[in-house]
Structure 1
Amino acid sequence: MNAMPQGTSASQWFRVIRGGRTPGLRLVCFPHAGGSASFFRSWAQLLPDDVELLAVRYPGREDRIFEPPVEHMEELADSLAEACASLGGGPLAFFGHSMGASVAYEVAARMANAPGTAGPQALFVSGRGGPGKNQSRGLATATDEELVGDLVAMSGTTAQALLNKELRDLLLPAVRADYRLVESYTASVPPPALDIPVYAYYGDADDKLDEDSVLAWSSATRSAFAVRAFPGGHFYLEEQAAPLVADLLARLGTSTSA
């Protein structure tokens, strides 16, 4: 597999967190609402040498902080499908957490419908109900205090950063834009079924999600489907990164790093 193309939409949309020496697989990770590419930084040490780790760089945060955030799923998924297609040959796998799960699914669906485009070989969704099971909570129009309070209640690194007044002023516009995207997004029901395995993860103490909602992801595939719960809340994957990545790699038939 060749290195990620430079000067293309791929270099704009992805951060290479771990470059494989002789990569046989690219794992593309899609962050949660308000999240950024650096959320997956700790995964680098959990992957074997033949897996390259890419994280999506949403506009409006980190090194794209001065770009306007995207507020509509169609625009975001269209751009990312094009960027993924420009990565070149070699197998892909997608992992998305929370909002990122829906984004990853929409990107995979677009790639499946694009002639001559090789989509991911598997889709991993986390902390998100399947199509038709996510109800709007009206947070896009909430006050800053209400929005921050909800995020802090879920925990996560983004929420902790929002407790700092200066960082809050910098980060909150992107968070609010992500909630507009999530709350305006309506998945097709029944959804377009993918011809790849879909694996769903969630935290067993996530009070905004239940197993029935997670099981709805089974309608998004004509291939294998499985669900696994981990100890923890909505951001269970921060503490459960090692067993989560190990499970993901096992399902891909790839060994963990030494």
Structure 2
Amino acid sequence: MKLFFIPYAGGTANSYRVFKKYLDPDFEIFLIELAGRGQRINEPFYNDINDAVEDIFSKIKDSINDEPYSIFGHSMGGLIIYELLAKIEEIGIPYPKHVFISARRAPHLKSLYGKKYYKLPDKEFVFELSKLGNMNREFSKNPELFKIFLPVIRADYRLVEEYVFNKPIKKFKCNISLLYAIDDIEAPKEEVLQWMEYVQKGVEHFEYDGGHFYFFNNIEAVSNTINNTLYQYVD
């Protein structure tokens, strides 16, 4: 089983490396790096979600034809998954066996706050991120790192906040798992569970303690959820 991880806003491929300690070693893990960060720091940011989808698809298309695979996406990564699956269906290549959507409201739901945070001055932007619980542990412990990544986070927020959902709901042709945290005000349970409208097959949901970046404090539990879910597809 191949397992692809798609980053959240401001995230890098390294952001998910903590999972490798707990995921079954028989799974082949692919940590996707988005443009403008990490090993791709010199590449320009995406113009929109479609740019990100095209880029990710070009990186994984040769790996998803021959073996079963699944995809995990946290926050912005969950939104990218939705559009990526539409691309996969359009091209006609095999669907993933399973998809994990973490801390992301359903695509048709707009933010309750009605703001374009990415347009705010730096101090206000940082304050709003902190208030929403969107300051992940890596940045809160290292202000200098955060300063470096602030343009990345702002660019990613632009992708999400300028995203327009203007088409009929597309139903997933695979099983999905919805993961959310009880204190996440950015992606509350009732909005995450609206992904059920997008499901043709089976859906499970899992609740964890914490806020928007709950998985940093629940790595083992989330990994167990992934392991136990994917075992059903492995001979």
TM-score normalised by length of structure 2:
0.90
1:250 pairs, out of 220, 223, 228, with: 228
Aligned to 2:196: 218
Aligned to 2:158: 180
Give the gaps of 5 or more residues in structure 2.
none
After TM superposition, the runs of 4+ consecutive aligned structure 1 residues lying more than 4 A away are none
> Is it true that 1:29 corresponds to 2:21 in the alignment?
no
The amino acid across from 1:132 in the alignment is: H
The amino acid across from 2:219 in the alignment is: A
Distance (whole Å) between structure 2 residues aligned to residue 246 and residue 254 of structure 1: 13
Aligned to 2:207: 229
State the Cα RMSD in Å: 1.9
1:119 pairs, out of 95, 110, 113, with: 95
The equivalences for 1:189-208 within 5 A come to 190-208=168-186
Aligned to 2:74: 97
Distance (whole Å) between structure 2 residues aligned to residue 84 and residue 112 of structure 1: 14
Per-residue deviation, residues 175-214 of structure 1 (Å, max 9, x unmatched)? 1110110011123454211210121111101122222211
Distance (whole Å) between structure 2 residues aligned to residue 214 and residue 189 of structure 1: 19
Per-residue deviation, residues 9-68 of structure 1 (Å, max 9, x unmatched)? xxxxxxxxxxxxxxxx11101111011110111111112221011111011111111111
2:119 pairs, out of 119, 126, 141, with: 141
Q: Conserved in 2, the CA contact under 8 Å of 1:130 and 1:217?
A: yes
Among all aligned residue pairs of Structure 1 and Structure 2, give the percentage whose two residues are the same amino acid. 26
Q: 1:161 to 1:103 in 2, by over 3 A?
A: farther
Give the gaps of 5 or more residues in structure 1.
1-24
Deviation at 1:100, TM superposition (A): 0.6
Paired residues, number: 228
Aligned to 1:20: none
Greater relative contact order (CA < 8 Å, ≥ 6 in sequence)? 2
